[in-house]
Amino acid sequence: VTLFHFEDEPRSGVCEVISTLREKAKLRIMMLTGDHESSAQRVAKAVCIEEVHFSLKPEDKLNKVKAVSREGGGGLIMVGDGINDAPALAAATVGMVLAQRASATAVAVADVLLLQDNICGVPFCIAKARQTTSLVKQSVALALTCIVFAALPSVLGFLPLWLTVLLHEGGTLLVCLNSIRALNTPTWSLVDDIRKLVDSLRNYFPSKFNSSPSSYTANTAPL
């Protein structure tokens, strides 16, 4: 008698990705699978997922995605790669697939294709999307502030026209400089942004932050 035993092995780094999405991104994580209960629970435990829905057909996944989206009242991200995931991927606010292993149907309906076979791209995309949204809001607020502070005093006669134009163009320059921050690696909060800025300043001006009076030595020459 020959017995064959097959089981699914989670991708490397999945547990860290789930932890990042739960703790830093503050997202509700759940697993939707067509596997039976014992297999689903084993995989969920291995990747640190607490909410599991098993024995689901494609239409069950679709209905679950719609129900969760209605409950949350906001966006929903679906990550999958199989043919059975295609309806749920299409119904989600954002459907993400790892393109190298995904089925053609899943790739066709997905909104985001991760070209590298690395699940770590999921939190990066979410963080980058949040960073971009934050930068857009900051840039709009900065531009409106500069326009108000430049135009209002000019209309009231407190500023000459040339200075008003200079302030307006200066605001445009500030917006452009702020937009360059999109090239930086995204972070999850304003505190992380400030900490990263401080670290950058320390690296740029090492002598200003790392030097101390005790590090200086005095060289004396004999008389």
Instruction: Dump pLDDT digits (tens) for 90-126.
Output: 999 999 999 888 999 999 999 999 998 889 999 999 9
| 2 band by pLDDT with thresholds 50, 70 and 90 | confident
Specify the DSSP element, H or E, that contains 190.
Answer: helix 190-204
Q: What is the pLDDT of residue 201?
A: 73
Which residues make Cβ contacts (< 8 Å) with residue 170, sequence separation at least 6? 146
Alpha-carbon distance 205 to 220, whole Å?
A: 29
CA 21, CA 15: separation in Å to the nearest integer?
10
Structure tokens at 43: 């995989």
Tell me how far apart the terminal alpha carbons of the chain are, to the nearest angstrom: 98
Q: What is the pLDDT of residues 164-208, one digit of tens each?
A: 888 888 888 989 998 898 888 888 877 777 787 788 778 877 655
Q: State the CATH architecture for 14-123.
A: 3-Layer(aba) Sandwich (3.40)
**What residues have CB less than 8 Å from 219, skipping those under 6 apart?**
none
Torsion of Cα atoms, 196 then 198 then 200 then 205, to 10°: -170
What is the number of other CB atoms lying within 10 angstroms of the CB of residue 193?
Answer: 16
